[in-house]
Amino acid sequence: MRRLLLVMVVIGTVLNLNTACAARGGVPIPEVEKKSRICMTLYTVNDGVLKMTAQCYPLKDGENRTAILEVQVGDNWKKAAETRITEDEYGNKAKDKTWTAHFRVEKWDMTRDWTYRVVALDGAAVYEGVVRKDPVDKDEIVIVAFTGNSIHAGHGGDISRSDLLENIKKLNPDLLFFSGDQVYDHSHHLGAWLRFGRDFGEVTRSIPTITIPDDHDVGQANLWGASGKKSHTGAGHDGGYFMPANYVKAVEKAQTWHLPDPHDPTPIQQDIGVYYTDLTLGRIDMAVIEDRKFKSGPSGLVPKQGPRPDHIRNPDYDPASVDVKGAVLLGDRQLKFLNTWSQDWQGADMKAVLSQTIFCGGAHIHGGIKGRLHADMDSNGWPQTGRNKVLAEIRRCFAVHIAGDQHLGTIFHHGIDDWEDAGYSFCVPSIANLYLRWWKPEKPGENVQPGMPEYTGRHLDGFGNRVTCWAAANPSAGRNGGGKLTTRAAGFGVVRFNKKSREITFECWPRNVDVTESGTRQYPGWPKTIKQADNYARKAAAYLPTLEIKGQVNPVIQVVDESNNEVVYTIRINGTSYRPKVFRQGLYTVKVGEGDGLNTLKSVKSIGAKETRTIEVSLK
């Protein structure tokens, strides 16, 4: 009888929860005890500044709104910061509020681990974690990357994330990166975000984490932010944001406040903020960019080529016809930021760019195995001129690109004017896949390497961009991709930066495997290791004399074309000898070192590939 009563109570609780969910919409927000009102924390530390967000469950009237961050010093707890839990309104029908506590601490000691706790509700709620030291002494820095955190039960998404958590613990990464679509509920971010916290808070509390919102997070099917204008459709193709500006700002406060301060905090239209910035961790410098926020909407801007303004079905169309004047991708602000960032190597050995999606059309089949789409303007293959500008800035510092969104794990080597003359991108697979995509070109690739599938090699994407495919984690060709996470090509990515060898390794793992077990296989094509220099693999037209450096190891070298004063590239070399390549014959300024130890060589004349000449450079 007692067991029956217990079952009835449980069923009643579930029904009440579901009823509440139906009443307010979205993922239900459970009632939790005071001691559990802090759901998760997210933090980064950059240049001696700790920024942390504590996401709370809704507080009740009369409950204390003060939150305190404390650190453990010996056997005692010391207050590091105090703040008020926010109650900014989302502006949705459920009248959700943000319920976030934001802590900023300057002069943070990055040389040691710090055990911390967030205390709220007059001490009733306590949430502990560890702020890790900056891993500058490690030879290898590891990022575990995710995208597409759908919990749709119809394709296995609404299941435990325990396999992901266990693998994160075994990999023990230095950084977690969630590239977007952490939330798929288009009007009730709070409930779904709290669910994200319940799923991943166990690891984010003690591992630095970057989360950036994508289209579904801010309540749209697709997003072309158009510098913040108002969109009139949830499809988003007219450009701008469909949900109220308060909703967008609340989402960004929850997901991005803990990132390092924005490079330029000037808001866009509707007073929506920006978060593009950079984070240096373990001597890996990562630019975090917003490749949706400034992008133009295609509707009314380009000739319609299919049933939707953003879909091109006609394979015989002229790609140049959609690369129209006025079409924006990153926008001038972010391009300027990337140009400045690419030249700044303080405290960095290697560089990477993190964003929502990759700079090409990375799929041919959309939705189902028969859903061939020639080109998708939601991808960053469009606009082509904007795409090429971004890749040109990224390659100036030999940066690799890590992203998600496409629901499909891929590795591409990008080309601008020639094959492979820019950098590599790694698009990680979705945590769970509802809307499937396949990389399935109709013709075999050119220059396919021995033993590689026909879909690899050199291709033009639907916008005429040069891409060389090295791997694609395609779903099953069965009906709707099958019913399992693995047949639907769900999983996650790992990126390893080896600072000694200056190599980058991409890994792509399925769901529900143990990455430490011998015999556990990654998706076909992974792992793949590239050299840092491969991210500017443009063929040399000439060279500068070999630089033999004395006084410093691994100095920064910058090459400037004196014909136009353009920075060709900047890199921290590995060792004390470097032969700079250049892309036209002429005179160059070469800057070696940094700060007070900078040595500038003027009017260095280029030489042929077979010529040998050496310049000795002394540094302080």
* 486, pLDDT greater than 90: no
| Average pLDDT for 77-81 | 98
Burial of 315 (0-12, 13-18, 19+ CB in 10 A): exposed
* Model confidence pLDDT, tens digit, residues 602-611: 999 999 999 9
Angle in degrees, CA 136, 138, 142, rounded to 5 = 100
How far is C-alpha 560 from the geometric centre of its chain's CA atoms? 30
* Model confidence pLDDT, tens digit, residues 38-55: 999 999 999 999 999 999
Structure tokens of 600? Answer: 């500038």
* Domain 543-618 of CATH type 3.40.630.10: no
User: If you average pLDDT over every residue of the chain, what do you get?
Assistant: 94
* Domain 140-179+275-354+356-536 of CATH type 3.60.21: yes
Q: Which residues contact 324 (CB under 8 A, 6 or more apart)?
A: 301, 302, 383
| Average pLDDT for 266-279 | 98
Q: Beta strands 284-288 and 277-281: pairing type?
A: antiparallel
How many C-beta neighbours within 10 Å does residue 527 have? Answer: 14
* 564, pLDDT greater than 80: yes
Asked if domains 34-131 and 140-179+275-354+356-536 share a fold, the reply is no
Distances (CA, A) of 97 to 32, 55, 536: 17, 11, 46
| The CATH homologous superfamily of the domain defined by 34-131 | Immunoglobulins (2.60.40.10)
Output the pLDDT for position 419. Answer: 98
Question: Which residue in 258, 277, 172, 225 sits closest to 496, CA to CA?
Answer: 172
Q: The tokens 């950084």 sit on which residue?
A: 175
Domain ranges of the chain: 34-131, 140-179+275-354+356-536, 543-618
d(CA 367, CA 355): 23
* 482, pLDDT greater than 70: yes
**Upper half-sphere CA count for residue 224 (Cβ side, 13 Å):** 27
Output the pLDDT for position 155. Answer: 61
* Model confidence pLDDT, tens digit, residues 190-201: 999 999 999 999
Distances (CA, A) of 473 to 63, 436, 490: 49, 11, 9
Output the pLDDT for position 14. Answer: 31
* Sign of the CA dihedral with 546 first, then 552, 554, and 555 last: negative
| Average pLDDT for 320-329 | 96
d(CA 547, CA 55): 52
* 81, pLDDT greater than 50: yes
* Sign of the CA dihedral with 388 first, then 528, 142, and 362 last: positive
Output the pLDDT for position 19. Answer: 30
First to last CA, the chain: 83
d(CA 345, CA 278): 12
* Model confidence pLDDT, tens digit, residues 367-376: 888 889 999 9
* 306, pLDDT greater than 60: yes
